Amino acid sequence: MEYLLIVISAVFVNNIVLSQFLGICSFLGVSKKVETAVGMTGAVMFVLVLSTLATYLLMKSVLEPLGLEYLRTISFILVIAALVQMVEIALKKVSPPLYQALGIYLPLITTNCAVLGVAILTIQKDFNLLQGVLFAFSHALGFGLAMISFSGMREHLEYAEIPARMKGVPISLILAGLLSMAFMGFAGIGA
């Protein structure tokens, strides 16, 4: 039951984008088309789970035993940046089609604050390794749900009659606010 609560809470109640406002730059910037939103979701999911696993192991096996917990944020940033670079190099050599499919999304993830936020939240909530990985995967699902929903709505906005001054960023921000309010309806479900 505890694992189910982690999933429901991360995907719906405490959605990383719509409730905690982490990852907004990619949420707004890469959500003009559903196709690009799906690509970004896949890349974020992959990196989010790997980076949470790596940062958890770093924290529990190096930083905590040596009493260096205060270096958490800077070391997590370095691990995430290095991990994204290694994944990019490996994908380029092992699977060029997948590397081409991810394109610019993989380097963009280095600066996605949702990745760092989930890694830090995993430690703050004192999860074990399995709970932490599930927490990261669930937040990636929530990110994807929000991103793909938002991009689908933005695609439909192209056919709507919108006043000239509201086109583009203003209507996108209003739409993001409405989507965030819709997710607030899940607030009573999980912890």
Domains of the chain by residue range? 2-184
Tens of each residue's pLDDT in the chain, 191 residues? 889 989 988 899 888 988 888 888 778 877 788 888 888 888 888 889 999 999 999 999 999 999 999 999 999 999 999 988 888 888 788 878 777 766 677 777 777 788 999 999 999 999 999 999 999 999 999 999 999 999 999 998 888 888 989 988 899 899 999 998 888 877 765 44
Residue 66: burial class (beta carbons within 10 Å; 0-12, 13-18, 19+)? exposed
- DSSP letters spanning 139-185: HHHHHHHHHHHHHHHHHHHTTS---GGGTTHHHHHHHHHHHHHHHHT
> Contact, 138 vs 171, CB < 8 A?
no
C-alpha to C-alpha distance for 133 and 95, rounded to whole angstroms: 25
* DSSP three-state, residue 106: helix
- Tell me the whole-structure pTM to 2 decimals: 0.86
